[in-house]
Amino acid sequence: MNFEFTQDQKILQSAIVDFLNKLPFDNVYWREKEEKSEWPIEFCTAMAEGGWLGALIPEEYGGSGMGLTEGCIIIEEIGRHAGINATTAVHTSIFGPWPLMLHGSEELKQRVLPRIAKGEFIAFAITEPDIGFDTTRVATSAVPKDDDTYIINGQKAFCSRVKESQILMLVARTTPYEEAEKRTQGITLFFTDLDWSTGALEAHEMHKMGRNAVPTYQFFMDDWEIPAADVCGDVGRGFYYLIDTLNPERIAVAAQAVGLGHTCVARAVEYAKERVVFGRPIGQNQAIQFPLADAYSRLEAARLMTYKAAWLFDRGEPCGAESNMAKVLASDAAFFAADRAVQTHGGYGYVREFDVERYFRELRLLQIAPVSQEMAYNHLAQHVLGLPRSY
């Protein structure tokens, strides 16, 4: 049993840390991007120029062909350095669209993957206003116009960076729910270009509590015509292809949570050493020490589960339980660390220039998305503990 990174992984970790430290994007940059709700194009461009995008995309499509473990190393360090605005801006490009890599035609992969690796961005259009996590109930329709074209009609919600992206992964029903033999059938996956000049697309920003540098939209499609060649895999099998994204996505979320969680602890420790009250640094008080030590312990435990899940995934072994546990443990541990960082700072923790309030708002999201803690517990209860399905 060996918990060490390989030599190549250590080199990768040092390389991404050095790269991030040399970027001119400090806390002031991210604070301003958050306050102004501005897309961090400068950071995204730098990441593309540095060759960090497409890390997991195979080399034959312009990527680096790394494993999920290496992707987690990269995304953890980005989270540690710059927070969830930064990781969310680039994580779909770093990890690539798994359904396309696994199930797409060679022509579709050749057409889409190299663009992502070079720095074009991809948005996901899955969730709809009324369905929550029940993807089988998507109502967005894809109806063939002819052999070469589909017509898309519908509405999506919580579409991150859709107006900032050039490519869209779209989930739509090619068979209405009522007509499908099984509720998981009749859903089709598309990878298509976002062309706003057609007049068929509209997006309205959803104003959020945090992570505002990465805009989130309500997305409308009205008689939008897209090529039939943009179908990924077989028509009607899209739900099963989406399942392939669940484990790596949850592991990636855990990695970014651990990264920013450790930053929260580090900032709190630094402040606790410097802040003097009643003639002594507040970090000398156990009421400050114990919660920070607790937060650090939780993060390290979550980190171990995260990299165990990534290790299993890279070996092609089942990792559904570990992926869900990593996501739950890491997002809870990171939010606890953010809460303790705010509390350690006292009144200053509520002040924007100290940044920990921003981390608090960013990390709260990860307990909801991309899957809620409750849905992750549903998976563990049913598939690990053997309890009856509850939903």
What is the second-level CATH architecture of the domain 240-384?
Answer: Up-down Bundle (1.20)
pLDDT of residue 132: 83
Q: How many CB atoms lie within 10 A of CB 66?
A: 22
What is the second-level CATH architecture of the domain 122-236?
Answer: Beta Barrel (2.40)
For the chain, give every residue range classified as CATH 2.40.110.10: 122-236
* Angle, CA 228 vertex, CA 227 and CA 230 arms, to 5°: 75
Per DSSP, helices labelled H in 216-367 are 238-274, 286-314, 320-345, 356-365
What is the second-level CATH architecture of the domain 7-118?
Answer: Orthogonal Bundle (1.10)
The per-residue DSSP string of 343-384 comes to HHHGGGGGSGGG-HHHHHHHHHHTTTSSS-HHHHHHHIIIII
In sequence order, what are the beta bridge partners of 189? Answer: 171
Q: Is the pLDDT score of 254 beyond 90?
A: yes
| Cα distance between the two ends of the chain | 38
pLDDT of residue 273: 98
Of 292, 261, 268, residue with least CA distance to 359: 261
What pTM value is reported for the model?
A: 0.96
Residue 201 near residue 217 (C-beta atoms within 8 A) = no
pLDDT of residue 6: 97
For the chain, give every residue range classified as CATH 1.20.140.10: 240-384
Q: Is the pLDDT score of 158 beyond 90?
A: yes
Q: How many CB atoms lie within 10 A of CB 287?
A: 9
Average pLDDT value for the chain: 97
For the chain, give every residue range classified as CATH 1.10.540.10: 7-118
Of 109, 76, 223, 304, residue with least CA distance to 312: 304
Q: Are strands 122-125 and 167-173 parallel, antiparallel or unpaired?
A: parallel
pLDDT digits (tens, 9 = 90+) for 344-376: 999 999 999 999 999 999 999 999 999 999 999
Res. 133 pLDDT band, cuts 50 70 90:
confident
pLDDT digits (tens, 9 = 90+) for 259-301: 999 999 999 999 999 999 999 999 999 999 999 999 999 999 9
